[in-house]
Amino acid sequence: MANEKRPPVKLYYRIGEVSEIVGVEPHVLRYWETEFRTIRPQKSRKGQRIYSRRDVDKLLRVKDLLYNQGYTIAGARKRLRDGSTSVESTAEATPPAVAAPAVEPEVVELLKSVRGEVVGLLRELGEDVR
């Protein structure tokens, strides 16, 4: 979490400000509100979301759990519910989901080419190919 911006000291933040502070698009913030019930920004008279400093801190923790620690939504929700939200406690708690290794574009193209050849051969043999 060392890379995120520190929020300016304010009582309330608009969604655009929070989006910039947390480093995700506004639609991601709105989605996280539906998944993490403890994140409940107030609404202005015009219906705009107004986030408290506590909301911003929770969103920064959610981002860390999901993006840096590798937790799923359900895993991050459980971490927040259990109260173990610091980087140290999340790293020690449960191993995060393992991300698939990156694949070079050349390998992807080679695999597509081989697949095309196999599909062609199967069609020649009269096999049903999806």
- The domain total for the chain is 2
CB distance 29 to 18 below 8 Å: yes
Q: Does 4 reside within a domain?
A: no
Q: Looking at the structure, tell me whether residues 22 and 75 fall in a common domain.
A: yes
The pLDDT score that the predictor gives to residue 115 is 87
Q: State the Cα angle at 126 between 120 and 130, rounded to 5°.
A: 60
CB distance 8 to 51 below 8 Å: no
Q: Looking at the structure, tell me whether residues 44 and 64 fall in a common domain.
A: yes
Please tell me the distance from the alpha carbon of residue 85 to that of residue 78, in angstroms, as a whole number: 10
Q: Looking at the structure, tell me whether residues 47 and 110 fall in a common domain.
A: no
Q: Looking at the structure, tell me whether residues 61 and 118 fall in a common domain.
A: no
What stretches of the chain show up as alpha helix (H) in DSSP? Answer: 15-22, 26-35, 53-63, 73-82, 87-93, 105-124
Q: What is the pLDDT along the chain (130 residues), one digit of tens a residue?
A: 455 556 667 888 999 999 999 999 999 999 999 999 889 999 989 999 999 999 999 999 999 999 999 999 999 999 888 875 444 444 444 445 555 566 677 877 888 888 888 888 888 888 776 6
Q: Give the domain extent around 56.
A: 12-98
